[in-house]
Amino acid sequence: MYFSAAVITSVLGVSSLVSALPMQSRANKTTPKGTKMMTSETKLDAAGAAYFITNEGDRNLVVAASINSDGTLNLDRAVVTHGSGAHGITDPNGPDALFSQGAIKASAKGQVLATVNAGSNTVSLFSINPKTPTEISLIGNPVSSGGEFPMSLAFNADGTRLCTLNGGSVNGVACFTVNKKTGLSPIANSVRSLNLNQTTPATGPAGSASHIIFSEDGKQLMASVKGVPPTPGFIALFDVKDDGSLSADFKKVAPPGNGALPFSMTLIPGKNAVLSTDPAVGFDVFDLSGNSSSAVKINGQSATCWSSLSKKTGNFYLTDIGTSIVTEVKVDNNLKASIVAQYNQTKNSATIDNDVATINGKDFLYVLAPNTTSIEILSLESAGNAKHISTLDIAGPTKAAGITISQFNLQGMTTFVTQ
C-alpha cells in the first residue's frame, strides 16, 4: 500500500541553538566567539559526544552533549556553523525540516564533524578534540554544497572524503577532500544531478531526497529518493573512482514489492545490501546484487524513516515520527528480515534521527525527539532487550543559556566515541 499525502506530510522537523565554549576549568583558553555553555562545566571523563543541529533560519548551530561512562548525556555547548538553516515546504508545518537522515555526521577515524546549512547552501567542517569531543572548532570557512538545500552528509571510511546530498532545485550529490588544517575542497567530476523536479527549499517529504552513504568497500556512493505515490522512489548508485570522482550517470534501483519511499539507508555488514526505512510500508531490504530484496510491513506504523545498526546486538533500530516507537529488526545471512521487538517512547515526542554509540563495551541508542525537545536514550542490553534509561531535556538548559530552539527545527543525530 502507499502512504496518503497527509500522513507523509507529517514527517518534518527543524532546530535552533548557538556556539561552543571551553569548560570553566579551562578558562585560560580563548572562548570561541558566539559560544554558549549549557552546563557549569564539561565532564573531563566523558566517553564521547552526541551532536545535533538547530537548523534555524537566522543561523545554524551544532549542539554538543557529553556522553557519560554509563551512556547518559549532559548538554555541554552550542557552536555556530556560520551558515543558516531552513525548513522544507510542507503543509502543515512540523518536525523533520530536512526530510532526511545524516544532516550532521562525525568521522571517528578522521576526528572531524560536518554539518549541512540548508538555508545558505553550504557545508561546515569542524575538528573534534578526541580527549574532550564536545570541543569542536570550525576548520576554514563553510563551502558551497555544490547545489541547493543540502540535507545529508557521508564520510568515507577514513574520513578523508565527504559527500553531500542536495535536495532543492539544483539537486544531486557533490564530494570534497577533507583537510584538517584548511577544510573542504571540491573534488573534480563529483557534482552529479539526480534530475529531480524540486524547489528550493525542497517540497516534501514525498518526492524529496533523503540520505547519502558510501558502500562498505567505498566503491559506490548511494543516494535515496522518496517517491510521489503512486510513483515509487529509488536508490541512486554512483561508482566512486580512485581519485574520488563519480561516474557520469547513476544506476537506479527501485524499491521491492510495495516499497515506495526509501528514506534512510543502513549498511548490512558483509553483504552488498542495505536496510532502508520506507514509510509506505515499514522498511525495505535492498539486495544490490539483485537476488533477495524485500519490503517488510510494520503493522500500525505511521512514518518509519530513520535507522541505525548496533554492532553489539547485530540488529537494526528504526524510529517512527508518528507513533514514537523504536522497532528492532534482525536481518539474517540470507537477507531475510524480521521484527524482533518494539519499544514505546514518550507519546507524541516525534522520534526522528538516531545513532548508536559503543560505550565501555555496551551499545546505546540516542534518538532525537523534537516535539518534546529531548533525546531518548536506550541501553541495548542484548538482542530483543533494549531498555530506556534516560531522557535528556534540551529545552531547560538551552533556555537557561539564552538559546531559543524550535521543536520544528531540531534535526540530526551523530555520535563520536573517545578512543
**Mean pLDDT of all residues in 66-85:** 96
* CATH number of the CATH domain containing 56: 2.130.10.10
**Residue 1 confidence (pLDDT):** 26
Cis upstream peptide for 230 (omega within 30°): yes
**Mean pLDDT of all residues in 84-96:** 95
- The domain containing residue 236 runs over which residues? 5-417
Instruction: Supply the Cα-derived Rg of the chain in whole angstroms.
Output: 19
**Residue 17 confidence (pLDDT):** 25
**Residue 217 confidence (pLDDT):** 97
Cis upstream peptide for 92 (omega within 30°): yes
pTM exceeding the 0.85 threshold for the entire prediction? yes
Confidence class of residue 279 from pLDDT cuts 50, 70 and 90?
very high
Q: Compute the Cα dihedral for 150, 156, 124, 71 and give only its sign.
A: positive
Q: Report the percent of the chain where pLDDT is more than 70.
A: 89
Q: Give start and end residues of each alpha helix (H) in 315-368.
A: none
Question: For 230-255, what is each residue's pLDDT tens digit?
Answer: 999 999 999 999 999 999 999 999 99
Domain count, the chain: 1
As given in the structure block, the three cell numbers for residue 255 are 524499491
DSSP-assigned letters across all residues of 359-400: ETTEEEEEEEEGGGTEEEEEEEEETTEEEEEEEEESHHHHHH
**Residue 315 confidence (pLDDT):** 98
- Alpha carbon distances (Å) from 359 to 70, 71, 116, 292, 330: 7, 6, 27, 34, 22
**Residue 91 confidence (pLDDT):** 87
Which residue did the predictor score with more confidence, 163 or 39? 163
Give the separation between CA 244 and CA 224, rounded to whole angstroms: 20
The most distant pair of C-alpha atoms in the chain lies apart, rounded to whole Å, by 60
**Residue 35 confidence (pLDDT):** 59
Buried b (16+ CB within 10 A) or exposed e, 335-356: bebebbebbebeeebbbbbbbb
Residue 184 makes CB contacts below 8 A (sequence gap 6+) with 114, 123, 125, 140, 143, 162, 176, 177, 178
- 320 forms bridges with which residues in the sheet? 304
Give the separation between CA 51 and CA 75, rounded to whole angstroms: 10
